[in-house]
Amino acid sequence: MKYRILFALLAGAAGLCSAAAGPLEQTECIAPAKPGGGFDLSCKLAQTGLLQGKFIAQPMRVRYLPGGIGALAYRTVVAQHPDQANAIIAFSGGSLLNLAQGKFGRYTENDVRWLAAIATDYGAVVVAENSPYRTLADVMQAMKTDPAKVVLGAGGTIGSQDWMKAALLARAAGASPKRMRFVAFEGGGEALRALQGGHIQVFTGDVAETRQQVQAGAKLRILAVMSDKRLPGDLAQVPTAREAGAPLEWPIVRGFYLGPKVSDADYAAWSEAFASMLATPAYQQLRTERGLFPMALVGKQLDSYVHQQVAQYRLLVQEFGLQVAK
């Protein structure tokens, strides 16, 4: 009997300790996909940066919750764990695009607390090294002449980020996106292999994944990057899409949000930790090593950015006649 009482007391004490734990204790990052993708990269970047900078005392646990490019995680957090203060959830530009298309069910961008954007990637227009297309202008002229003869491809289906980049490129060339030939692949790696094999002619993917393939020996050329200005380092000679004749940009934000009922105090604690981490040279080196580019938005700044991006994506969804999920 006394052992049962002792066990109950110990269990109760453990529960009190857990309940009393602050937002930066026993931390967890939820990656809304299987291991190895962009969400995993975001979580592990935060995991390393926060621990290395001593903003958290113990390693952050990474938990995987795949489904709908973030939709399952979003619904789970909002409906079941809205006040869990020690769990941050990764999101990307793809998550925001899905929100704009209503793919998160009845939930919108107003249903969580947007916390921090810690890095970005950018869209890119890529061809094989032996491609007859030497510039972005060459691709655009071919698409204008006959969009059906230019075979584009990337990861994702109609309405995805990569499809949107291709559609924007077609529109900039003066061609109808409805007439373009777009081949959907499971991911960017598969699409880049198809590009090298001559199965597609143009890849509308991301800078980071293309650079990784080039560094691994792939014979590819980046014709343009979809950033507001030229990127640093070995990409400094690559023009922006705007410089190359297509006035379009496509940043791919990587960041985190918290549940809608996390307290102001806990939200402030996380915001302060991320703001401090993002300012450290050690974190900036980590981000660069992973092939990502600077983006540092915390708290209200990120909230404003998210709402602006989702509004822009909704306009694109309407302009391209995409069906919005009910």
pTM for the whole structure: 0.85
Residue 10 lies in a domain: no
Same domain, 140 and 178: yes
Residue 99 lies in a domain: yes
Ramachandran assignment for 86, one of left (phi > 0), alpha (psi -120 to 50 degrees), beta (any other)? alpha
Q: How deeply is 137 buried, as exposed, middle or buried, from its count of CB atoms within 10 A (0-12, 13-18, 19+)?
A: middle
Same domain, 81 and 161: no
Q: Which among 235, 259, 279 is the end of a domain?
A: 235
Same domain, 176 and 149: yes
Which tens digits make up the pLDDT trace of 131-180? 999 999 999 999 999 999 999 999 888 899 999 999 999 999 999 999 99
CATH number reported for the structural domain that contains residue 192 in this entry: 3.40.190.10
Q: Which among 235, 262, 288 is the end of a domain?
A: 235
Same domain, 139 and 227: yes
Structure-token pair, residue 139: 């691709």
* Domain with 148 in it: 122-235
Same domain, 148 and 228: yes
Same domain, 98 and 141: no
Same domain, 97 and 129: no
Same domain, 94 and 48: yes
Number of structural domains found in the chain: 2
Same domain, 130 and 178: yes
Residue 18 lies in a domain: no
Which tens digits make up the pLDDT trace of 185-202? 877 888 999 999 999 999
Which tens digits make up the pLDDT trace of 23-67? 999 999 999 988 877 888 899 999 999 999 999 999 999 999 988
SS3 sequence, 32-78?
Answer: CCCCCCHHHHHHHHHHHHHHHCCCCCCCCEEEECCCHHHHHHHHHHH
Residue 9 lies in a domain: no
